[in-house]
Amino acid sequence: MADTSKQHEENMETIEAPEETAEQAMEAEGSDRSVFGWKAILILIISVALSLYHLYTAGFGLIVSTNQHLFIHLLAGLILIFLIFPRKKGLGQTTIAWYDMALAGIVLVVGSFVMLNQTHQTILQGSMETSHMFAGIIMILLLLEAARRVVGKPLLIIAFIFIAYYFLGDYLPAPFGHSRANFEQFIYEMMYTSTGILGTPLSVSANYVFIFILFGAILEATGAGKMFIDLALRAVGHSRGGPAKAAVVGSGFMGSISGSSVANAVTTGTFTIPLMKKVGFRPQTAGGIEVASSSSGQFLPPVMGAAAFLMIEYTPYSYAQIMVSALIPAILTYIAILWMVHIESLKHNIQGLAKDSLVSGRKSLLQQGYLIVPIIALVYFVMAGNTVFNAAFYSIVMLLTVAVLAHRLRGRFGAGLLISGMLAIIAYGMHYFFGWHMEISIMIAIGAFICVFFVLFQNKFKIASAPIKFGFRELMVSLEMASRKALTVIAACATAGILIGIINLTGLSGSLPTIIVGFAGDQLLLVLFFTFIACLIVGLGLPTTATYVILASMIAPALIEMNVPIMAAHLFVLYYGVLADDTPPVNLPAYAVSGIAKADPIVTGVQGFKYDAGALLLPFVFVMNTIILLLPENQGMFAWYEIVWAIFTALVGILAFVTVIQNYMFVKYRWFEWILALSSALVFIHPAFVSDLIGVALFALLISIHLLRKKAIDREDRVEVTA
């Protein structure tokens, strides 16, 4: 018992989250500037104001015009970038350089000028005065510099390539050439219309993405990350390679709502990577597993990262329909990572943690299970047909209610109950007198009831409340961190607006799909393969949002022209856009966790790509056989057993392909077994019952062979031990 107790204490010490997790996440994304004093307060004020502004607009609508709303979002983001991110990493600055203060000031002055002149008579007539043109040039240059700082050079290089394409179109051969270059028109379209910077990507960032980032930031501040890891550890931590499987499950939960693979990797990796190393995983492997688990969360409902919100604008589907279609492929993706981890554990005989060393699942749920309810509310409101931002707002209201009241009810039950009732009455009064949404008071009332329910059960079972208290300080931290985490998305989406504007102005959006289809000779598999390669190349060093915007505008139409359903085409590029986030050598999540794992970031990135590649063929499968996407247009066309069979065969194909990557099932593959496994995985791409049967039969044969080989090896080992 003494040994078990000691092991339990060691495990609990290992998964204590350091206070600087949030700061580590920001540093991993490019900022190592530490600011103190009044400058830190300035950053805090701007960040909190931006979060509160978006919280208000999500719940009560815009208080300014649409363009002014986008400008507020953009200008606040650019100002924060110049205040937070140095001109290059590694300077070790402890203050904001004078030139960055100057750049922030220029953004405020020039940006305000551009914003206020959106309705100028000259602008409305489709032309510009000299002052408008110079202001537009300055804002474009400031945006590109901000994108370089917060996103990195790859996006800047791609932006310059597109700009060069716009101005040098006359010198290019057909069908790529064009004669539409005009400097004044370029500035006008990029800065004063919805064609460029103020286009769809920035609109999605301002209207959808930010509010969900805020939801995730508040949830993280409540300690939900540790709760998810504790529950995952309790569920799978005792199995072979348990801590790694817990990392996959826990990171999946957090990744589905955080919207940032880097922040998710740091938040959950702080808990899981030391435990993975403790049971025998190599540092780079532990880091790679965390990278794959965190990045793939962008494909998992309900939030699915920022790119999913862009799908609302680029497709005719509602967010609820997108979630339904993405659900099964996302689950299959995580099964692939879990299977990859399991085989890795078999190869190196890595065991799990002792069951009695893990936190009780019941205790974790009774301590902080109330934090799951706002997530359920979020899914409910989205599926019920509410607007996405309203759904997020109502969920945040409930989240704040349970976060604030839980400790207060446990400490002073009567006073906490009185405060809960007063808050609900005030919210109802605001609805009655000022027209506030009735859902606000309902969310507060339900949140208070949930807290009372949990506190009563905590008292009954004598379970202490969770150690994290959510008060004013934690609220301010979460509001600030939401704005900080949104900076990458703001810069990427605004820059992507320039790319999309150029694609539309030059006519490339119409000609490129025809070029691709013509080059591929009407062979869908060839078009899919070219798209896959394009995703990985375009996505090198880019956030998923920017990758998706480019591919959705340029490549997805080619798939649609080949009669691929719209949803399948966009999920295809979204999936590989997420995978591109894991592609070395520019792999931001790998750089984020390499410090925690104490491993080389490039090697960690390679391992992350490996663990994410288990479902590499899955998009080919769901494009060729769209049954598993549960498309609205397919409703009623397939029987339930056809859907089950399609899911089963996709799963078998994934399991087979994972063994190909690992070159191992229960024992190491012989060369002909490896070929059989690869053949089994590949035949599932073709949607035919006969080929599916062949694939299942091949994999069943491999399982039988390997079970027999494993028994023979175990028998020989026992004989040697006996001898």
Q: Grade residue 123 by pLDDT with cuts at 50, 70 and 90.
A: confident
In this prediction, residue 589 carries a pLDDT of: 79
In this prediction, residue 28 carries a pLDDT of: 44
Q: Grade residue 197 by pLDDT with cuts at 50, 70 and 90.
A: very high
Average pLDDT over the chain reads 84
What would the pLDDT profile of 628-654 be if each residue is shown by its tens digit? 999 888 877 888 889 999 999 999 999
What would the pLDDT profile of 347-361 be if each residue is shown by its tens digit? 888 888 888 777 777
Q: How many CB atoms lie within 10 A of CB 85?
A: 23
538 pLDDT higher than 70: yes
Residue identified by tokens 């300080």 is 473
In this prediction, residue 523 carries a pLDDT of: 82
In percent, the amount of the chain with pLDDT more than 90 equals 30
CA atoms within 13 A on the CB side of 323: 19
What would the pLDDT profile of 206-251 be if each residue is shown by its tens digit? 988 899 889 888 888 887 877 888 888 888 888 888 888 988 888 8
Q: Grade residue 319 by pLDDT with cuts at 50, 70 and 90.
A: confident
In whole angstroms, what is the distance from residue 664 CA to residue 648 CA? 21
Classify 664 as helix, strand or coil. Answer: strand
User: CA separation (Å) from 304 to 174, 257, 665?
Assistant: 39, 7, 31
In this prediction, residue 682 carries a pLDDT of: 92
In sequence order, what DSSP letters do the residues of 57-81 get, joined into one string?
Answer: HHHH--SS-HHHHHHHHHHHHHHHH
113 pLDDT higher than 70: yes
In this prediction, residue 306 carries a pLDDT of: 66
Query: Any idea which of 280-294, 411-425, 593-607, 661-675 has the lowest mean pLDDT?
Result: 411-425
In this prediction, residue 404 carries a pLDDT of: 85
Taking alpha carbons only, the member of 356, 371, 462, 365 closest to residue 12 is 356
In sequence order, the 6+-apart residues with CB closer than 8 A to the CB of 650 are: 332, 618, 621, 622, 625, 628, 684
Q: Grade residue 545 by pLDDT with cuts at 50, 70 and 90.
A: confident
In sequence order, the 6+-apart residues with CB closer than 8 A to the CB of 338 are: 245, 248, 249
In whole angstroms, what is the distance from residue 333 CA to residue 656 CA? 13
pLDDT, greater one: 415 or 107: 107
Structure tokens at 685: 């791409």
Taking alpha carbons only, the member of 448, 417, 424 closest to residue 438 is 424
In this prediction, residue 31 carries a pLDDT of: 67
What would the pLDDT profile of 475-488 be if each residue is shown by its tens digit? 999 999 999 988 98
567 pLDDT higher than 50: yes
1 pLDDT higher than 60: no
Q: What's the rounded mean pLDDT across residues 436-458?
A: 83
pLDDT, greater one: 119 or 23: 119
CA atoms within 13 A on the CB side of 409: 27
In this prediction, residue 189 carries a pLDDT of: 92
pLDDT, greater one: 137 or 602: 137
In whole angstroms, what is the distance from residue 549 CA to residue 204 CA? 11
In whole angstroms, what is the distance from residue 162 CA to residue 43 CA? 33
382 pLDDT higher than 80: yes
In whole angstroms, what is the distance from residue 236 CA to residue 621 CA? 29
pLDDT, greater one: 103 or 455: 103
In sequence order, what DSSP letters do the residues of 370-420 get, joined into one string?
Answer: GGHHHHHHHHHHHHTT--HHHHHHHHHHHHHHHHHHHHHHHHSHHHHHHHH
What would the pLDDT profile of 12-63 be if each residue is shown by its tens digit? 443 444 444 444 444 445 566 888 889 999 999 999 999 999 999 998 889 9
In this prediction, residue 259 carries a pLDDT of: 59
75 pLDDT higher than 90: yes
Q: What's the rounded mean pLDDT across residues 151-162?
A: 87
Predicted TM-score (pTM) of the model is 0.84
Q: Which residues of 114-133 are buried (b: 16+ CB within 10 A; e: fewer)?
A: bbebbeeeebeeeebeeebb
In this prediction, residue 41 carries a pLDDT of: 93
In this prediction, residue 135 carries a pLDDT of: 95
Q: Grade residue 5 by pLDDT with cuts at 50, 70 and 90.
A: very low
Residues in the chain: 723
In whole angstroms, what is the distance from residue 605 CA to residue 592 CA? 10
In sequence order, what DSSP letters do the residues of 558-570 get, joined into one string?
Answer: HHHHTT--HHHHH
Residue pair 136/128 in contact by the 8 Å Cβ criterion = yes
Structure tokens at 714: 């175990």
For residue 464, how far is the Cα from the chain centroid?
33
In sequence order, what DSSP letters do the residues of 448-484 get, joined into one string?
Answer: HHHHHHHHHHHHHTT-PPPS----HHHHHHHHHHHHH
Radius of gyration, alpha carbons of the chain: 26
Using alpha carbons only, give the angle 488, 492, 494 rounded to the nearest 5 degrees. 120
In percent, the amount of the chain with pLDDT more than 70 equals 92
Q: Using the Cα atoms of residue 413, residue 416, residue 422 and residue 424 in order, give the sign of their dihedral.
A: negative
What would the pLDDT profile of 664-694 be if each residue is shown by its tens digit? 998 899 998 999 999 999 998 888 889 899 9
318 pLDDT higher than 60: yes
Q: Grade residue 586 by pLDDT with cuts at 50, 70 and 90.
A: low
Q: How many CB atoms lie within 10 A of CB 626?
A: 21
In whole angstroms, what is the distance from residue 545 CA to residue 306 CA? 6
In this prediction, residue 298 carries a pLDDT of: 79
Q: What's the rounded mean pLDDT across residues 546-569?
A: 86
In whole angstroms, what is the distance from residue 424 CA to residue 441 CA? 5
In whole angstroms, what is the distance from residue 266 CA to residue 593 CA? 6
Residue pair 687/625 in contact by the 8 Å Cβ criterion = yes
User: CA separation (Å) from 243 to 237, 276, 595?
Assistant: 5, 5, 19
In this prediction, residue 23 carries a pLDDT of: 47
In this prediction, residue 699 carries a pLDDT of: 92
Q: How many CB atoms lie within 10 A of CB 500?
A: 24
In the chain, the N- to C-terminal Cα span, in Å, equals 34
In this prediction, residue 21 carries a pLDDT of: 45
